[in-house]
Chains A and B, each alone.
Chain A
Amino acid sequence: MSKPLIGIVVGAILGAIDGLTAWFTPAVREHLGGIVIGSTLKGIIAGVAIGFFAKKFHSLPLGILFGLLVGALLAWLVAFMQGGYYFEIILPGTLVGLIVGFATQKYGRTTATANT
């Protein structure tokens, strides 16, 4: 599996889990479908970005840092559009980015470069 694909899969799964946890908040439960789709999309976008970064740069610390930043940025955008719950949205989003950053650096096929 390629690194961007790993990023997409892990990002989508964690994004979906992230969205599903909204079920525990009765106030937003009726919008659960939209939240899950939005959260999954956010995870996929983060996964693609982090996956391509991992394909380009083979460094675990850099990958984790990049994942952390992308996760935090996307989560901040969501919180900003929602106009609240900054801490509750940014912290999990950042952690998701960190996990995707780690997973894409640690797993997945690296493209071999031919010596000419």
Chain B
Amino acid sequence: MKWLSDDNLDHLRTIARNPDFSATKYTFVKELGHGGMGTVYLAEDRELDRLVAIKVLNTPEITEDLRNRMVREAQIIARLEHPGIVPVHDVGVLPDGRVFYAMKYVRGSRLDEYAAQHSSLRDRLRKFQAACDAVAFAHAHGVIHRDLKPQNIMIGSFGEVLVLDWGVAKITKKPTTDYTNESVQSVDGSNTSAGTVIGTRDYMSPEQARGEVSQLDERADVYSLGAVLHFLLKDQSRPGKAAQAICAKAMASARDDRYSTASELSADIGRLLDAEPVSAYRENVIEKVGRWVGKNRFLVLLVLAYLLMRIFFIFTSRR
């Protein structure tokens, strides 16, 4: 009898653990990440000769509910055709019965990694605003993400911003384009029961943390976006009162005190970037003047130069 070496044994274990894509047009490349519901793999699409990210259910015991949930997730993302949301290319079933869906493979870094390398507040705010716009688009289509955090926001190699992991998303209303026969309701494909806490503790709204599933609406995502903004501002030496006020408004404990939509939050971030007054903060006169001068720095410098020159001429002509 010939004994297998440890290396060979490890190799066999790895092969056994990896999903079997043999009946599909994909070739396994490597594992990318592991989540609560599924694992994401990098695979090669042999037909189109490109890399894709494939999400496969983790559990070997596939219930109808889990399968539906996975298909629903794929449908939710596929419905959200937006540059800030990863497109789904394909959905299918593996030989072992597990559902998978293939999506665009995004090359880049997560927002937390990106923030560690890019300290510019303006740059961070622009990326954050793009994420808000993607979430606002999902809200407009009746979808709440429910797990927004820096780890679920990806910055592509060309600076594009993509919101990932819609695995626990909730459908709040019938979409404008009816792709399915589903009725209005439904939480993450199945019905998440009251008291179930879904999301990531540091980024979830108080109502979400209390498990008030039926109470969740767009403002739960607004809170999470506020927490993401807080993460982006926390290492800034002078984030500015307006930015802090936006963050505080988005993260208000009472959801009525928050921005009612992600679009409103995005608009305030836009105003902040354009040195316009933001809705979350009432400026005093000095701050208004300071903001105007900051925005029109070059014009102010020109007028000052003109006045200085005038004063110079007045004094020289008196001699």
- Which of the residues A24, A25, A95 comes within 8 Å of B306, measured between beta carbons? A95
Which of A18, A92, A102 meets B299, CB within 8 Å? A102
A98 within 8 A of B: yes
For A14, list chain B residues within 8 Å (CB): 306
Provide the residues of chain A in CB contact with B234, threshold 8 Å.
none
How many residues belonging to B are interface residues under a CB distance threshold of 8 Å? 14
Are A99 and B302 in contact, CB atoms less than 8 angstroms apart? yes
**Chain A: interface size category:** 10 to 19
Contacts A21-B310, A102-B299, A103-B299 given: A95-B317 contact, CB under 8 Å? Answer: no
**Known contacts A24-B317, A24-B318, A25-B317: A17-B310 contact under CB 8 Å:** yes
At the interface, is chain A mostly helix, strand, loop or mixed? helix
A21, A25, A92, A102: the one within 8 Å of B302 (CB)? A102
Tell yes or no: B194 within 8 A of A by CB: no
B residues 302-319 in Cβ contact with A at 8 Å: 302-303, 305-307, 309-310, 313-314, 317-318
A106 at interface, CB cutoff 8 A: yes
| Residue contact B303 to A99, C-beta cutoff 8 Å | yes
Do A91 and B309 touch (CB < 8 A)? yes
B298 at the interface (CB under 8 A from A): yes
A25 to B316 alpha-carbon distance, docked (Å): 10
| Interchain nearest-CB distance for A44 vs B (Å) | 17
Judge whether A92 and B298 touch: CB under 8 Å.
Answer: no
- Min CB–CB distance B189 → chain A (angstroms): 43
A41-71 to B contact mask, C-beta < 8 Å, 1/0? 0000000000000000000000000000000
Q: Do residues A92 and B305 form an inter-chain contact, with CB atoms below 8 A?
A: no
Residues of chain A lying within 8 A (CB to CB) of residue B317 = 24-25, 88
- Which B residues form the contact surface with A (CB < 8 A)? 296, 298-299, 302-303, 305-307, 309-310, 313-314, 317-318
A→B interface (CB under 8 Å): 14, 17-18, 21, 24-25, 88, 91-92, 95-96, 98-99, 102-103, 106
